[in-house]
Amino acid sequence: MAIIERLDNWTLFLCIALSTSMSAFAFARIWRTNRTVRGAGHFALAFLFGTAGCFFIAFLPDNTPLFHLAGNVIEDTLVRAVYALLLIGVDRFFGVRRASRFAWPIVAIALVLTVFFTLIIDSNRVNLIITDLVTFFFRISIAIELLRHTGRRHLRPLSALMFVFALLSLEATWDSIAHPVSTIVLDTKGQQSLALFTTLFFFIATGQLLLLILNGDLVRQLQDEATRDFLTSALNRRGAERILAAEIDRAHRFRIPLAVALVDIDRFKEINDTLGHAEGDKTIVAVARTIDRNLRTYDSVGRFGGDEFLVVLPNTPTQEGLQVLERLRREVEETTPPATTLSIGLTTLSHADTLLSLLARADEALYKAKAEGRNRITVRPSAEIEAAVLDPSHTI
């Protein structure tokens, strides 16, 4: 406590203002440069309100009616708004609206009570108790919302921080009830300095942890974009091969079937040459959507080349794969102008297959489908199945 008592409260206020303003700037930059990062705008406003609160109190003259009104009404409302915005930002980040629905009503009710206990019944102690209880509600609500997503380990430190500071809010409420309350914000008593010091630690830690969470989400978005085709929003070749490699490993490990198909748009060059590249792009998008619509939830499709798609059908034997592919081939033929048809090469995984050998066999099947007249599905069985056909002791 001796070290805390030696701290200059003006310095602590300046540090709080500096930390909140830097966090507000960082979140604002994230929000402006990437609007898909949910919650960044609310976090920026929260820390901006924190900065405003610091300067509001620090530069008002002490022991004046204006200071008393500002300290009890405006300052306390800014503090509550900070936590309301943090809670709303967390809910927006997760795409939900649970506790945040009550955020602004609680701030409004607390404001009415604060005005009453400032202008009608002058009770600084009651106002502090109201602020501490509201702060407890927001902190514990944020902690609970973060705990709902325990699968994300990087959320646990912020959840623990909010839980600890929620308990501190309860302790502060009891302290306000049991002991006299100082009305001088920038006094040199250890109790006031300790409160400012813990507030500084809270804002620094919260700002850094929220930045880590948003940056992690941004990295995941960038990784997802790196595996997506810009035109069709399907997986690109890199993403499709990554999925296929994972499915090959799973099929080998659990000894389950895996069907793989290469799908090619017939005479696509003629579409580009006669109707233009814009119409060609529309055809690619329409085919990609039709393929995706006809696949099952656990299947995958990726744009493998210019007009070529890779379809991965986990836990699917040859005959079932033929049914899935025939359904999408027929729908493309019937619904996609101008007279679009597909050639499809299908194969299934053998125990000796690698990603390259499996793709090579699917490519052979596709080449055969085109050579035989297009608009059809050709199956290229693995060497194991071919051996089984030649050997009567084996069954397919």
Number of structural domains the chain divides into: 2
44 found inside a domain: yes
384 found inside a domain: yes
CATH code for position 208: 1.20.1070
Domain boundary among 193, 226, 259: 226
- Say which DSSP state 154 is in: G
**CB distance 86 to 110 below 8 Å:** no
70 found inside a domain: yes
Asked whether residue 221 falls in the same domain as residue 245, the answer is: no
128 found inside a domain: yes
Residue 385 to residues 157, 332, 351, 373: CA-CA distances in angstroms? 54, 30, 11, 25
Among the listed residues 168, 196, 160, 212, the one whose alpha carbon sits nearest the alpha carbon of residue 43: 212
Asked whether residue 147 falls in the same domain as residue 58, the answer is: yes
Which residue type sits at 304?
F
Asked whether residue 347 falls in the same domain as residue 214, the answer is: no
pLDDT at residue 282 in the model = 92
Match 């995958």 to its residue by tokens: 300
Domain boundary among 170, 197, 226: 226
Asked whether residue 120 falls in the same domain as residue 77, the answer is: yes
Asked whether residue 277 falls in the same domain as residue 210, the answer is: no
What tokens were used for 383?
Answer: 């060497």
99 found inside a domain: yes
Asked whether residue 212 falls in the same domain as residue 279, the answer is: no
247 found inside a domain: yes
395 found inside a domain: no
Q: Which domain holds residue 131?
A: 2-226
Asked whether residue 39 falls in the same domain as residue 158, the answer is: yes
Residue 28 to residues 31, 48, 94: CA-CA distances in angstroms? 5, 10, 19
Domain boundary among 167, 202, 226: 226
Asked whether residue 321 falls in the same domain as residue 363, the answer is: yes
- Assign 3-class secondary structure to 284-333: HHHHHHHHHHHCCCCCEEEECCCCEEEEEEECCCHHHHHHHHHHHHHHHH
For residue range 16-66, list pLDDT tens digits in order.
Answer: 999 999 999 999 999 998 888 889 999 999 999 999 988 777 666 555 565
**CB distance 90 to 148 below 8 Å:** no
Residues 6 or more apart in contact with residue 339 via CB below 8 angstroms: none
Asked whether residue 171 falls in the same domain as residue 252, the answer is: no
Per-residue confidence of the chain (396 residues) as pLDDT tens digits?
Answer: 444 444 577 788 889 999 999 999 999 999 998 888 889 999 999 999 999 988 777 666 555 565 666 667 888 899 999 999 999 999 999 888 877 788 999 999 999 998 888 878 877 788 888 989 999 999 999 999 998 886 677 788 999 999 999 999 998 888 878 776 555 555 555 567 778 888 899 999 999 999 999 988 888 888 888 889 989 989 999 999 999 999 999 999 999 999 999 999 999 988 888 889 899 999 999 999 999 999 989 999 999 988 999 999 999 999 999 999 999 999 999 887 777 899 999 999 998 899 999 999 999 999 999 999 999 999 998 755 543 333 333 233
Asked whether residue 214 falls in the same domain as residue 297, the answer is: no
What tokens were used for 382?
Answer: 């693995």
pLDDT at residue 87 in the model = 95
Asked whether residue 214 falls in the same domain as residue 322, the answer is: no
Helices and strands counted in the chain (H then E): 15, 5
pLDDT at residue 396 in the model = 33
231 found inside a domain: no
CATH code for position 328: 3.30.70.270
Residue 302 to residues 1, 15, 130, 306: CA-CA distances in angstroms? 63, 51, 56, 11
Asked whether residue 192 falls in the same domain as residue 259, the answer is: no
